[in-house]
Amino acid sequence: MSATENVLPSSLGLQNADPELTATVVDGLRRVEDLLRSAVHSDFDFVDEAALHLVRAGGKRFRPLFTLVAAQFNDGTTDQVVAAAAAVELVHLATLYHDDVMDEATMRRGDASANARWDNSVAILTGDFLFAHASMLVADLGPTATRVIAETMRELVTGQMRETVGPRDDDPIEHYLSVIAQKTGSLIATAGRYGAMFSGADAAQTEALHRVGEIIGAAFQISDDVIDIASPAAESGKTPGTDLREGVRTLPMLYALAEDPDPRLAKLLAGPITDDDQVAEALELLRVSPGLERARQTLDDYAARADAELATLPDTPAREALHQLTRYVVARTH
């Protein structure tokens, strides 16, 4: 199965979308996939192998998908939309190479991470290589697009820095929500903005799609937080408790610790958990804590905000498709 087949819209809750729109978006994803592979090609075989490592691994391709759907309100899948969609995915992939180094990860998308397969230096340099190629694609789209991607990279890095430093004197929950807005929401916001910009949207539509992307992007991270705790591996395809093992305090954990926390849970969440039995214990305590339900309520709030923004857009198959994406982000946690 090809990487493109892995990311057909049905895998992201679009199985009931307008058939014509779906066909258009699938064709656009194939074009994006081809451009991803050609854009990062290098005559140096080792660089070529490292750069294509995560491209070939596939993934949801949520960011290019969002770009393509956002473009369907107007002129549709122009060559510029395809280039923009590929650029945002390259930025995303570049951050994954860097994240795996920072997290000392050993696996990514079912395969060895680049830092584990080679070493940290190769992973960092490969991420830089992908950032460079994303910038090259965007440079051909004009100075406004170049400024937008530069601002987005600034937001991504700032969010990562804030996460690394921690909340300090800030409220931990407000700090976390601001971090995910920058680390995850900002790039998906740019995907929506690019889809609008390069399909002939006016300023109001462009700004609305930018806001929808930012909201859905943050909501996607919250849904991942919930899934990491609530969903058995057989259902989610992921090993539960990854955040616990890495010592990452996600939104359900922060809510659970905010008011009258269980003393045992507070002790377990004090740092990374390496013992499997303790991970299982922490998961059980989190699943019955009020923190998990509060995180779900926050996710519902984000979905409602996205729907409110979508209501300002024309009533078209593209708007309904984005509604379905929003519902998918919530439904995947149940």
The domain tally of the chain equals 1
Print the domain residue range for 279: 3-331
CATH number, position 84: 1.10.600.10
- How far is Cα 92 from Cα 119, in angstroms, rounded to an integer? 20
For residue range 3-55, list pLDDT tens digits in order. 444 445 445 778 788 999 999 999 999 999 999 999 999 988 898 898 888 87
pLDDT digits (tens, 9 = 90+) for 133-163: 999 999 999 999 999 999 999 999 999 999 9
Q: At what angle do helices 143-165 and 172-180 cross, to 10 degrees?
A: 150
Alpha helices in 78-171 (DSSP H): 79-103, 114-117, 120-139, 143-165
Give pLDDT, residue 2: 44
